[in-house]
Amino acid sequence: MTRNRIRLLMVMDSLAVGGTETYVLSFVKAFPSLGVMPVYAGGTGVMYESYARAGCPIHRVELTAEQLLNPANQVKAVYKLTQIMRSRKIDLVHIHQTPSGLYAAEAARKLGIPVVFTVHGAYYPPEQLQLMKAGGCTFISVSLPVQAYLDAMGIPSHLIANGINFEQYRSESSAALRASLRIPEGEKIVVYASRLAWDKAAVCAMLVRAARTIRLNESLPLHLVIAGSGNQAATIAELAETVNLECNTTFVHLVGSQLQMRDYYNLGDLVVGTGRVALEAMACGKPVLAIGNHGYFGLVEQPVYEEAWQYYFGDHNSKERPSEQRIGEVISKALASANKLEEMGLQGQAWARANFHIRDKALQMKQLYNSLLQKNG
């Protein structure tokens, strides 16, 4: 039998701004109309308001890795999560990170509640994944490379891609934002959206240097807008200051973490990003240069859509190592043809809508939930 209403507990480390948190929020918004009622448990953060506005009840539980180093906090976390699951009469628990997920899974196991675990990348420690498997979790992969990564460890998973809300991510004018950043009409803008940490910060630094070279050598009035923050943000800010001085103008704009990314995607003539960012930008009708944690993929054009998905836009697999020179060449060439860029954006928008619509993914997810609840029966 299929349940009409499923009471679901989503558990995360925190509500910081990032791909995983945005992924969960998109499901939280799409689920209620399908009869899945989400509740959130975990740490708080900048996205608290967005979750609250979506009508999602929020239970604050300290689940960051630092907090969970303390054994007393681990016991407290399991106790608190068990209480929430009981009082909310939770049918199913959906986790996304470790170690927070380990404790949520432990609490769910005590109560006989099934647990689903979405693996968002190939960066989870194998021993923790094996613990999840041993604990009876059902795994979901967001991309083919993640599915292959789990397969290699003997962990089967269901493939459910990121879903994008096309009402939220859509084409619109960005004139007001352009004016507020004091970027003259007609000057080209490249937007980079990512956490400024790990390999993504290194890519950002290459992009800044490539933009500087284009600005100096090709006298193309190019602007680079960087949206994101992270432990490398100060290093990037320093580099931006240096190149702005060198070029005698502010052309690298650091805007920090942004909740309204649609405005920033729409600002760009070209968006550089990976994973979920690539899909959100395409939903806004923007051409994408895909470079991710794993490496360089290239422009996401019609002949390579399938390949871009298989590589997850360079985030989970890639064609080559990125380099400042390679990035600079591709950007120069792409910006030289405004018509081609516009066509690329429109084709990408149609492809993303056909393959990554949040409603389709939410239905897929609900079917999986139902099958687990029937088994649990």
Domain boundaries, the chain: 6-163+357-376, 175-355
Q: How many CB atoms lie within 10 A of CB 371?
A: 14
Strand order in the sheet with 288-291: 252-256, 222-227, 188-193, 270-273, 288-291, 296-299
Could you report the per-residue pLDDT of 243-282, keeping only the tens digit for each? 999 999 999 999 999 999 999 999 999 999 999 999 999 9
Say whether 175-355 and 6-163+357-376 share the same fold: yes
- 363 contacts 101 by C-beta, under 8 angstroms: no
Closest CA to 252 of 291, 305, 218, 213: 213
CATH superfamily, domain 175-355, is: Glycogen Phosphorylase B; (3.40.50.2000)
DSSP letters of 17-67? Answer: SSHHHHHHHHHHHHSGGGTEEEEEEE---TTHHHHHHTT--EEE---STTG
In this predicted structure, the answer to whether residue 27 has a pLDDT above a threshold of 80 is: yes
Residue 274 has a pLDDT of 95
Mean pLDDT of 53-82: 96
Question: Regarding the domain with residue range 6-163+357-376, which homologous superfamily does it belong to in the CATH classification?
Answer: Glycogen Phosphorylase B; (3.40.50.2000)
pLDDT tens-digit profile of 206-218?
999 999 999 999 8
Using pLDDT thresholds of 50, 70 and 90, give the confidence band for residue 319. Answer: very high
Those residues with Cβ within 8 angstroms of residue 164's Cβ, 6 or more apart along the chain or in another chain: 26, 276, 279, 280, 283, 352, 356, 357, 358
The residues, any chain, with a CB within 8 Å of residue 150's CB and separated by 6 or more, are: 119, 129, 139, 141, 156, 157
Residue-wise pLDDT tens digits, 175-229? 999 999 999 999 999 999 999 998 999 999 999 999 999 999 988 899 999 999 9
How far apart CA 117 and CA 156 sit, in angstroms, is: 12
Q: How far apart are CA 282 and CA 370, in angstroms?
A: 31
Q: What is the pLDDT of residue 219?
A: 81
pLDDT number for residue 2: 61
Q: pLDDT tens digits for 151-165?
A: 999 999 999 999 999
User: Whats the size of the chain, residue-wise?
Assistant: 377
Q: Is the pLDDT of residue 327 over 60?
A: yes
Please say if the pLDDT value at position 377 is more than 80.
Answer: no
DSSP-assigned letters across all residues of 84-128: HHHHTT-SEEEE-STTHHHHHHHHHHHHT--EEEEE-STTS-HHH
342 confidence band (pLDDT: 50, 70, 90): very high
What distance in Å separates the CA atoms of residue 223 and residue 225, rounded to the nearest whole number? 7
Q: Strand 288-291 to strand 296-299: parallel, antiparallel, or no bridges (unpaired)? A: antiparallel
CA distance 120 to 104: 17
Distance of alpha carbon 336 from alpha carbon 328, whole angstroms: 12
Q: Quote the CA–CA distance of 118 and 100 in Å, as a whole number.
A: 13
pLDDT of 4 reads 79
Kindly give the pairing relationship between strand 188-193 and strand 222-227. parallel
